[in-house]
Structure 1
Amino acid sequence: MNIRRIPVFLALILLATGIPAFAEFYTDWLWFNEVGYEQVYLRSLTARGTVMVVVATLVFALLAVNLVIAMRALRPRPFLIATPQGPQTITMDPASIRPFALGATGLVAVLIGLYAGGHWETWLYFLNGTPFGKADPILGRDIGFYVFTLPFLELVHGLLYFTCFLMIAVAFVAYLFGGEVGLEPAGRIYVSRRATRHLGLLAAAMLLTFAFSAWLQIPQLLTKASGVVAGASYADVYARMPALWVLVAAALVSAALALWQAMTHGRLWPIAAAAILYFVVSLGGSAYAAVIQRFVVAPNEQVQETPFIIHNIQATRTAFGLDSVAEKPLSGEAHLTRADLEKNATTIDNVPLWNDRPLLDTFGQIQEIRTYYDFAAVDNDRYTINGQYRQIMLSARELNSQSLPRRTWINEHLTFTHGYGLTLGPVNEVTQEGLPVLFIKDLPPVSTADLEVTQPAIYYGEMPNDHVFVKTKTEEFDYPRGDDNVFAVYKGDGGVPLSNVFRRLMFAIRFRSTDTFFSPNLTTESRVMLHRRIGERVKRIAPFLKYDPDPYLAISEGKLVWMQDVYTTSTRFPYSTSAGGVNYIRNSVKVTIDAYNGTTTFHVVDPEDPITKTVGKI
């Protein structure tokens, strides 16, 4: 390739990657603004960008200074290379490769910054962490330290360790090629004073990261999942923790020896002594813990581990909100009487006869009406119907775009845009044919109870449907009526307005669809609905929360509203046993999604939860 074309080639690559990235960013911003959570989006972008820039800048400064100092050892050296004209000697000047080396350093720093920026939630949790008001039973630290602070410190340690490793590797290679590190004829290692000073300082820095690592391992023992129980055991508390404190001291002493070596320019024995001291103490601590486990704990394990088992039980009950459960003794001698049945008539009258799985199949057979409709799940709910408190089972009739008879762009994105209505019936009634009794059924929906749905169109649901355009020149299919079809025009305010050509262009690039830009059916009044699947929608808004995998449908003031349980969780609660991948959980938030407009609202139901408070600060 002609060297003059390289800038043009790089510019084309930048355009090919930069324009789609900008389109993704811009349309995401429009969507977050439409759903009312633009501050959440800005907060995440700001945090990610700040962490990335700060870390990349600091890492580049350290690596660049280290590189410049190390490259002073390099001298112009001749190299013999093969050419068509025969062997030729060229001289490599270090000054000529310095810009490329600094460029590579910058690239590495950016990659490290991107990695750190990907952990922006860890940074925000650290800055905004809320105390739990409860301390661990061993170190006496607030639980918030383990949940919010410890993950951040672990991230910082990882970045420091990797940066120190790179600095040592680069410096050693530079001094090796510069002839300032090597073997003397007598077989002894030769290290110049300049290399001794530089490598000694780097060794001291690395040993400080080792001390930091040993210090972090002490609280980490309380959150480990291995062993007899979750958390620190007898051997951990009485052997490993003291050994780790000794290791911290040994690492600090070793760092001091390495620093002394760097300052005095003497022989290499202080660095060797530092390395030997650290590794001897590390291995000795592990051996000491193994001896305590074998000869102190194992012969009388039940007695020795009892206090720590108690810590585990108490912490697990607290972490899962089971510490306030009231215990009532049951003798098993009670006799059921007619009076008991009459007293609990509401419960008896709502004993379910239907199971959700066969009922889902039955709903599909008798109420899907068309092949492109689908019932994704059956949900339970309770309503006062005709003056009686009833438990019912219901399912939304959603559109499945994968089942359309003709899957054209117009059909999938303009015409077939939404599902319609629901099927609802009591849990304890059966027709003479063995089918479920239905209070709401058919298309358009017919209700035989005082429960009415005034807006049955379902644009947002559980089905993985793609984006759609509403308020277009193409009428939307509403529902079938016999052999005919009923069409409608969307009258809500859901979706992102396509108010100008630039927005259409950005969405066309995002969707990789020329139809989005050139279609004559789209106008400045048109709107695009995206992220219509509930699970995807809420995770886009608040990815730092955990969501129940089964949202459920409810009727509220004639509207269809999806509800989903939201959980704040952690894996860092000391001494708590994990279940389902977490060892702390609170159902502290509920989220509702309007099936017609897509309005998404998070409702805090447990404002005292420390993680919920922290998220609120963020």
Structure 2
Amino acid sequence: MKRNRKIISVIVAIIVAFYLLNLFLNYYGDWLWFNNLHYGSVFSTMIIAKIVSFVVFFLVFVLFFSLHLRLAHRRGQLSRQNIYLPEDDPRQVILQLYKGKTIFWIWAILTLLLGKFMGSYAVDQWNNFLQFIHASSFGIQEPIFHKDAGFYVFKLPVYQFITSWYLFMVGMTFIAVMASYYLDNVFSSVGKGFQVLKPVRRHLLSLTGFFVLGISVSYFLKLYNILYSSHGAAYGPSYVDVHAQIPAYWALFVVSLAITLLLFLSRAFRKKKIILYAVGVWVFVLIGFVWIYPSIIEQYVVKPNELQKETPYILNNIKLTREAYGLNKIKVKPFPVDDKITYKDIEENRNTIENIRLWDRRPLIQTYKQLQEIRLYYDFNSVQVDRYHFDKYTEVALAGRELPVSQIPNRAQTWVNTHLIFTHGYGVVMNPVNEILPNGMPNLVVKDIPPTTTVPLKLKQMGIYYGEESNQFVLVNTTAKEFDYPKGDDNVYTSYAGKGGVRISGLFKRLVFAWKFSDIKILLTGYLTNQSRIMFYRNITQRDKTIAPFLSYDSQPYMVVGDDGQLYWIHDAYTTSNMFPYSEPVTQNLSERGFNYINNSVKVVINAYNGDVSYYVINPNDPIIQTYEKIYPKLFKPFSDMPEFLKAHIRYPTDLFNIQTQMYNVYHMTDPKVFYNQEDYWQVPNESYNNEQQKMFPYYIIMRLPETQKEEYILMLPLTPSKKDNMIAWMCARCDAPNYGDLIVYSLPKDKLIYGPMQVEARINQQPDISSQLTLWGQQGSQVFKGNQLIIPIKNSFLYVEPVYLQSDQGKIPELKRVIVTYNDHIEMKKTLEEALQAIFNSSGSQDTLSAPQVKDIVNIVKTSLSAKAKEALDHYNKATEYLKQNNWAGYGKELQQMKAVLSKMTRDSTTSQEANKEPMKQ
């Protein structure tokens, strides 16, 4: 028996030692990584918080659980000694373990395993515990309990967790104690009932008292959870919640507390029925006041007068929701639409016109891939839009050329290639968003490898070791040269000269990382030197989340070419909470409440070569970021510390803008009656892309806002009424200093029709000359599709601009072939934006509504001739137009041929002077 115990002890010791070694090696590798980034204090704070959380809750559970088990074991001793069980009773086998110290080891192992589980469960709350200790004030009081919002964001989650954890602990202890008493045969049947020894009964009653104490606290906390009710006309406490549910929870709390006292003081009562009476009162309150009474109030008090009763609570919801999403800072301005702009107005807004984004990011990335990936192992993950000051303020599209392992051919994906040779991407590609070459390609101002540029950009360090697709660890500064970039038929190789990654000198560190990545080749390879470094967490989103997992991150990081010639990633980070009182969550489902507070408080900057990560606080007034600054004083930097050349590239994030737009569509209604009836609900309009409808995505544009003096970079989106297609407003976020972050909604006249995106799309599709031309292109082994439609405010009018792309079924290279411009009732499709604008706003100031250039020139000739032949040509033209509307291409072609014959004869018979006055025919 002793030998078996020793074997068990050795096995347990080996398992524990292996577990601790695994933890140490993993955390030690991360500690080296954090120290390399100068964030060792951040790592220490997180680790200490996790360790303290585990130890405290582990010890509390072990002490409580083992104390009650020991008490049960002692009180069951007398019964255990007098047990006489039938031979077929399953307890016969278990009772053999009660001899000697076997039962001690069984309960000890069970206690430790459960303690580990309960401690690990608490570790997940480490961030909440830190926020609880360093809580900040919001300076906003909710109107029901008059507590600061900081109580709900920082304090209440901890109280709720501790209560649920406590109930779980008491519940498991009660089950274990009952099992112990059952094995000890404490419960003996007497007649129709059970006989339980007094000490055992007192023990079970006291444990029940502990459990009911937790129940009473949970009902007390339910009072505060009322602020997240979704039962009323608006999110948050309703009339029923305040006048029925809250009093009911108070009653349950008081009754539960009374039952707790009765259970703890049970030995002072001779008649234990008083506890049963108290439980009966508790059940009565639960059924009568928590379940039935609120329903009666809802049905007979609220429903007949719902708007009147719910108005104060709707106002509370509107106020605090607007506060939580920053909607209260939105400025609303009128935008009177007059549709009276001329070509002179176009010229006065030339900077806006020259930055209209004709290159949609979706076809553009395909063009980049075909033209600029150079070698098969390069890849462009995404194309983002930014602006640079060249000879003028220019909006550009930009993408980094990365080198993901997945692009390397399977046969070449050896360990040396994937971890030592192909370590990084190289360079960027950039083009102005509105410039088109004669062949329909973008005008690449930065291109090729090594990159060349036609604009004043310094391109010094183009290696991309950290990016969106850098997912595997790499070893640099080894004896194996790294592939840098291709040059003709040869390759250029390099050795990493930066400080990114962790030095992997020495056998111990090699062992650490071989263990961490489960890759023994790190330990065995002969390529490493004392100067070698290992880079991991290279994916920029993973990198951000590893350093600051308590922040949320935007889905679209973007690359910037710095004035120092290096490449940087800028990534927007958010502070969020789902505990802001009275605020409507972004999403609601049965399993999880979505966040109901968000603030873009941090701009994260990552150096693509060194991997340095900096967290700049752009909104120091956010109480959540103030709390994190207290917790991690060495992590965050003031925004003033950001280099000026990077400040010029910050932009309002699209994810936040989408969320704010979604909420503003409802919460622009501040009148409770309008809100209750949802009379003025707005929505994000649909747009057509590649012949499919989808929600319109906000777009960046350089333009001059009304009442401003110069163009600026903004993010904007049109809005339409619910279930209608006409435009009702447009919303924008300003991106340039000193107005960064300003939100403006320009409301449109409600008594006038302003076309929305789908209405304009329908009008374009109904133009015979445009639809026929697109249909013809699509029948010649090519795919024709329209890009994103942009609505451009010019003075008090709107231009609708939509690019048209042609893509061969074989080459898969989208070419920008036409630009469609719509203004008022006029639509033009031309080769360039400028041609389309000139066609709409001709020199006389009037608009020309026809769109087929060949036919218009012919019509002009016919109109200048009074001869019979001219009238005959006009007749053929009219017939051709009719055939065109009917999609009768044979008849259309026949009439054009006859018109050509008539015009040819007229040309031969005309005089030289008449020839000189004719405009050249456009082919």
TM-score by length of 1: 0.94
In structure 2, what is the equivalent of residue 273 of structure 1?
Answer: 277
**Deviation for aligned residue 1:389:** 0.7
In structure 2, what is the equivalent of residue 589 of structure 1?
Answer: 602
In structure 1, what is the equivalent of residue 37 of structure 2?
Answer: 35
- Give deviations 1:34-75, integer Å, cap 9, x for gaps: 112111111111011111111111111111111111112322
Aligned counterpart in structure 2 of residue 57 of structure 1, from 50, 56, 59: 59
Aligned counterpart in structure 1 of residue 234 of structure 2, from 226, 229, 232: 229
User: Counterparts of 1:361 and 1:588 in 2: how far apart (Å)?
Assistant: 34
In structure 2, what is the equivalent of residue 161 of structure 1?
Answer: 167
In structure 2, what is the equivalent of residue 565 of structure 1?
Answer: 572
**Deviation for aligned residue 1:106:** 2.8
User: Counterparts of 1:14 and 1:161 in 2: how far apart (Å)?
Assistant: 28
User: Counterparts of 1:528 and 1:359 in 2: how far apart (Å)?
Assistant: 35
**Do 2:502 and 2:533's aligned partners in 1 also have CA atoms closer than 8 Å?**
yes
Q: Indicate the SS of the match to 1:561.
A: strand
The residue identity in structure 1 corresponding to 2:146 is G
Residue 120 (1) aligns with residue 126 (2) = yes
Residue 454 (1) aligns with residue 464 (2) = no
Residue 202 (1) aligns with residue 202 (2) = no
**Deviation for aligned residue 1:376:** 0.3
**Deviation for aligned residue 1:403:** 1.7
Q: Indicate the SS of the match to 1:425.
A: strand
User: Counterparts of 1:13 and 1:608 in 2: how far apart (Å)?
Assistant: 49
**Do 1:181 and 1:195's aligned partners in 2 also have CA atoms closer than 8 Å?**
no
Larger radius of gyration between Structure 1 and Structure 2: 2
**Do 1:130 and 1:611's aligned partners in 2 also have CA atoms closer than 8 Å?**
yes
Residue 392 (1) aligns with residue 405 (2) = no
- Give deviations 1:299-338, integer Å, cap 9, x for gaps: 2222222221111111111000010212223333363355
**Deviation for aligned residue 1:350:** 0.5
User: Counterparts of 1:152 and 1:430 in 2: how far apart (Å)?
Assistant: 58
Paired residues in the alignment total 613
**Deviation for aligned residue 1:204:** 2.0
User: Counterparts of 1:509 and 1:91 in 2: how far apart (Å)?
Assistant: 40
In structure 2, what is the equivalent of residue 402 of structure 1?
Answer: 406
In structure 1, what is the equivalent of residue 48 of structure 2?
Answer: 46
What aligned pairs does 1:206-605 form with structure 2 within 5 A after superposition? 206-264=211-269, 266-285=270-289, 286-333=291-338, 335-337=340-342, 340-385=345-390, 387-405=391-409, 406-557=412-563, 558-579=565-586, 581-605=594-618
- 174 and 15 in structure 1: CA distance in 2 versus 1, 3 angstrom threshold: closer
User: Counterparts of 1:164 and 1:498 in 2: how far apart (Å)?
Assistant: 48
What aligned pairs does 1:168-207 form with structure 2 within 5 A after superposition? 168-185=174-191, 187-207=192-212
User: Counterparts of 1:9 and 1:81 in 2: how far apart (Å)?
Assistant: 34
User: Counterparts of 1:367 and 1:262 in 2: how far apart (Å)?
Assistant: 85
The residue identity in structure 1 corresponding to 2:373 is E
User: Counterparts of 2:96 and 2:176 in 1: how far apart (Å)?
Assistant: 24
**Deviation for aligned residue 1:167:** 2.8
- 465 and 93 in structure 1: CA distance in 2 versus 1, 3 angstrom threshold: closer
- Give deviations 1:217-239, integer Å, cap 9, x for gaps: 11101023454321111111110
- 528 and 92 in structure 1: CA distance in 2 versus 1, 3 angstrom threshold: closer
Q: Indicate the SS of the match to 1:568.
A: strand
**Deviation for aligned residue 1:81:** 5.7
User: Counterparts of 1:610 and 1:537 in 2: how far apart (Å)?
Assistant: 25
User: Counterparts of 1:169 and 1:67 in 2: how far apart (Å)?
Assistant: 10
**Deviation for aligned residue 1:13:** 3.9
User: Counterparts of 2:64 and 2:275 in 1: how far apart (Å)?
Assistant: 22
User: Counterparts of 1:95 and 1:483 in 2: how far apart (Å)?
Assistant: 77
- Give deviations 1:263-295, integer Å, cap 9, x for gaps: 34x343133223222222112222111111111
The residue identity in structure 1 corresponding to 2:397 is M
Moved more, 68-77 or 427-436: 68-77
**Do 2:379 and 2:407's aligned partners in 1 also have CA atoms closer than 8 Å?**
no
**Do 1:63 and 1:167's aligned partners in 2 also have CA atoms closer than 8 Å?**
yes
Moved more, 564-573 or 100-109: 100-109
**Do 1:591 and 1:602's aligned partners in 2 also have CA atoms closer than 8 Å?**
yes
In structure 1, what is the equivalent of residue 153 of structure 2?
Answer: 147
- Give deviations 1:578-602, integer Å, cap 9, x for gaps: 1153210000000000000000000
Q: Indicate the SS of the match to 1:221.
A: helix
Moved more, 251-260 or 516-525: 251-260
- Give deviations 1:5-26, integer Å, cap 9, x for gaps: 4455445544554443322111
Q: Indicate the SS of the match to 2:157.
A: helix
**Deviation for aligned residue 1:575:** 1.2
Moved more, 582-591 or 6-15: 6-15
Indicate the percent of aligned positions where both proteins have the same amino acid.
38
User: Counterparts of 2:373 and 2:40 in 1: how far apart (Å)?
Assistant: 38
Ranges in structure 2 where 5+ consecutive residues have no aligned partner: 588-593, 632-923
User: Counterparts of 2:116 and 2:527 in 1: how far apart (Å)?
Assistant: 44
**Do 1:254 and 1:273's aligned partners in 2 also have CA atoms closer than 8 Å?**
no
- Give deviations 1:344-379, integer Å, cap 9, x for gaps: 332222111110000000000000001100000001
User: Counterparts of 2:96 and 2:297 in 1: how far apart (Å)?
Assistant: 64
Moved more, 45-54 or 94-103: 94-103
**Deviation for aligned residue 1:196:** 2.7
The residue identity in structure 2 corresponding to 1:195 is V
**Do 1:398 and 1:461's aligned partners in 2 also have CA atoms closer than 8 Å?**
yes
**Do 2:476 and 2:496's aligned partners in 1 also have CA atoms closer than 8 Å?**
yes
- 270 and 195 in structure 1: CA distance in 2 versus 1, 3 angstrom threshold: farther
- 151 and 539 in structure 1: CA distance in 2 versus 1, 3 angstrom threshold: same
In structure 1, what is the equivalent of residue 620 of structure 2?
Answer: 607
Q: Indicate the SS of the match to 1:115.
A: helix
Task: Answer 1 or 2: higher relative contact order, Cα 8 Å, separation at least 6.
Answer: 1
**Deviation for aligned residue 1:110:** 2.3
**Do 2:131 and 2:154's aligned partners in 1 also have CA atoms closer than 8 Å?**
yes
- 47 and 165 in structure 1: CA distance in 2 versus 1, 3 angstrom threshold: same
User: Counterparts of 1:182 and 1:507 in 2: how far apart (Å)?
Assistant: 60
**Do 1:201 and 1:262's aligned partners in 2 also have CA atoms closer than 8 Å?**
no
- 246 and 392 in structure 1: CA distance in 2 versus 1, 3 angstrom threshold: same
Quote the RMSD (CA, aligned, Å).
2.3
**Do 2:231 and 2:238's aligned partners in 1 also have CA atoms closer than 8 Å?**
no
Moved more, 322-331 or 371-380: 322-331
User: Counterparts of 1:314 and 1:588 in 2: how far apart (Å)?
Assistant: 21
- 217 and 502 in structure 1: CA distance in 2 versus 1, 3 angstrom threshold: same
**Displaced runs of 4+ in structure 1, greater than 6 A?**
none
**Do 2:403 and 2:470's aligned partners in 1 also have CA atoms closer than 8 Å?**
no
What aligned pairs does 1:75-94 form with structure 2 within 5 A after superposition? 75-76=80-81, 77=83, 92-93=98-99
**Do 1:73 and 1:174's aligned partners in 2 also have CA atoms closer than 8 Å?**
no
The residue identity in structure 1 corresponding to 2:335 is L
User: Counterparts of 1:418 and 1:409 in 2: how far apart (Å)?
Assistant: 15
The residue identity in structure 1 corresponding to 2:510 is R
- 91 and 463 in structure 1: CA distance in 2 versus 1, 3 angstrom threshold: closer
**Deviation for aligned residue 1:556:** 1.1
Ranges in structure 1 where 5+ consecutive residues have no aligned partner: none
**Deviation for aligned residue 1:549:** 1.2
Q: Indicate the SS of the match to 2:223.
A: helix
